[in-house]
Structure 1
Amino acid sequence: MGFHTFDPARADQLDDPTRYAYLSVDELLALFDPAADDVVADLGSGTGFYTDDVAAAAGTVYAVDVQPEMHERYREKGLPDNVTPVTATVESLPVGALDAVVSTMTFHEFATPDAMDAVADALAPGGRVALGDWTRTGAGDAGPPLEERYAAADAVELCEDAGITVHRAEDRRETFVLSGTL
């Protein structure tokens, strides 16, 4: 599975509320239980669809995306005051001492040992990880092709190899979720 990004020309699809059928706001927030003063990085934030939900529950949010076009789109939509766009790869995260890192439907775009080591390095002790993405065990009726996806067990292995303790990981109909701590 190789690194790729979502086509910015199709960015309207990222703001489709039917995405909540695969990962709801309540489920995402329950994966890492943010506090009002938490510092959180949203990896692969895109146009900010889920970032906005995280921002409503956290103190400071870094919207991390490798594509400046996605940040431009997010700015056009309107960024919450507590969100700062960061153009970077996951492997080169320029922020640290994070209380939590989240990734919604983008783990398959960056899942490598180096990326997960960078996540672990960016987390403060006890920092939390919340992942929700398309699963390789799904039917493939939505999301990226099955061959571009990871299963929950793959995410567990990458997290544990980086020193992240996984507390929950499960494959569902089309997606998987994972929560853990450093």
Structure 2
Amino acid sequence: MSEKRFDPSNLHKLDNPERRKALPPEQILGLLKLNETDIILDLGAGSGYFTIPAAQLTKGQVYALEVEKRMLEALRERVDAEGLSNVELVEGAIEEIPLQDGLADHVIASLVLHEVEPLSKGLKEIQRMLKPGGNCLCLEWEKKETPQGPPLHHRIHSDEMKQAVEQAGFTVESVTFPTDSHYILIFGK
């Protein structure tokens, strides 16, 4: 496991009331303007913070990519408990997504791109996964000291991320700052 990857023993930190108040998943997903048949790929799905509400907002398939088996098992339990039939769990890394090209209308990359090595490879995979006209919601930690989150040297500044996605051939549609510690980039193919 890369030293940048999230430790699955901290799974409880991924979904808690404070995080939901600061970063409400349904409200953030609203930035994607989802249609009921859209296909969504959630990268580094973790405990399903975005997977579950995305699956409730669309009748299309939601693919939940996760590299850690323990997180996939926890997500499977949540999906089953919610009675969702449109979620497919996929074990794999963002750097080599084991799915066919042009699969998704939308990609969600929530607090995971700072873990990708190199970032350019992850962005290339997002490019490959998106249908023409598709877009990606990238929620990330701003590069500044905060009480929570990854070490400063793992974080990617919002300006650097914007430059990286543009260099990867994407068009930045919007940049917002939902908290002092986070930014959201919506970028399209």
What TM-score comes out, normalization by structure 2 length? Answer: 0.87
1:180 and 1:143 map into 2 onto residues whose CA distance is 23
Shift of 1:86: 0.7
Shift of 1:83: 0.8
Shift of 1:3: 5.9
Question: Which structure ranks higher in relative contact order (CA pairs < 8 Å, sequence separation ≥ 6)?
Answer: 1
Aligned-partner SS, 1:120: helix
1:92 counterpart = 2:96: yes
Aligned-partner SS, 1:84: strand
Map residues 1-182 of structure 1 onto 2, 5 A cutoff: 4-58=4-58, 59-79=60-80, 80-95=84-99, 96-97=101-102, 98-110=104-116, 112-137=119-144, 139-171=145-177, 172-182=179-189
Which residues of structure 1 form unaligned runs of 5+? none
1:83 and 1:114 map into 2 onto residues whose CA distance is 25
Shift of 1:64: 0.6
Aligned-partner SS, 1:5: coil
Aligned-partner SS, 1:157: helix
Q: In 1, are the aligned partners of 2:4 and 2:154 still within 8 Å (CA)?
A: no
1:34 and 1:159 map into 2 onto residues whose CA distance is 21
2:96 and 2:171 map into 1 onto residues whose CA distance is 22
Look up the equivalent residue of 2:47 and give its one-letter code: T
Q: In 2, are the aligned partners of 1:43 and 1:103 still within 8 Å (CA)?
A: yes
Aligned-partner SS, 2:124: helix
Shift of 1:130: 0.5
Aligned-partner SS, 1:62: strand
1:160–1:82 Cα change, 3 Å = same
Aligned-partner SS, 1:100: strand
1:63 and 1:150 map into 2 onto residues whose CA distance is 23
1:21 and 1:151 map into 2 onto residues whose CA distance is 23
1:22 and 1:155 map into 2 onto residues whose CA distance is 21
Among all aligned residue pairs of Structure 1 and Structure 2, give the percentage whose two residues are the same amino acid. Answer: 29
1:131 and 1:94 map into 2 onto residues whose CA distance is 20
1:109 and 1:21 map into 2 onto residues whose CA distance is 24
What TM-score comes out, normalization by structure 1 length? Answer: 0.90
1:22–1:3 Cα change, 3 Å = farther
1:44 and 1:21 map into 2 onto residues whose CA distance is 21
Q: How many residues align?
A: 180
Q: In 2, are the aligned partners of 1:40 and 1:101 still within 8 Å (CA)?
A: yes
Look up the equivalent residue of 2:167 and give its one-letter code: D
Which residues of structure 2 form unaligned runs of 5+? none
Q: CA RMSD in A?
A: 1.8
Q: In 1, are the aligned partners of 2:26 and 2:53 still within 8 Å (CA)?
A: no
